[in-house]
């Protein structure tokens, strides 16, 4: 069973879901824009991805450019920014057996 943090409006997210379906993988979909992860959940995801929060931020989003760009934010502040503005969370994120990958490219999910 794979959990997919998914945005159905994102082509990469849709492609990643299709890769999982094509591999006959059972998928639990979390539409993270509607079901925003908690701070603790996001910290767990970052730990599974083994990356700092900054690497999970979508810096081309308008909300980033308008509110955060150029600021020296701590890890906690970056996590709070993503929780308060879930559009900033890079997508899609697939999780399985305590490991996580970002589906960029979508085939990355096959590494789980």
Which member of 2, 6, 8, 10 is catalytic?
10
Cβ neighbors of 46 (< 8 A, separation 6 or more) are 52, 53, 56, 79
Q: Is 10 a catalytic residue?
A: yes
Active site residues: 10
């Amino acid at each position: 069973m794979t959990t997919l943090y998914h945005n159905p409006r994102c082509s990469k997210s849709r492609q990643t879901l299709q890769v999982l379906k094509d591999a006959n993988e059972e998928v639990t979909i979390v539409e993270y824009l509607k079901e925003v992860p908690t701070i603790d959940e996001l910290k767990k995801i970052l730990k599974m991805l083994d990356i700092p929060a900054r690497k999970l931020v979508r810096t081309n989003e308008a909300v980033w450019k308008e509110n955060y760009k150029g600021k020296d934010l701590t890890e906690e502040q970056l996590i709070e920014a993503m929780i308060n503005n879930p559009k900033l969370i890079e997508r899609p994120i697939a999780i399985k057996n305590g490991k996580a990958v970002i589906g960029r490219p979508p085939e990355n999910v096959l590494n789980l």
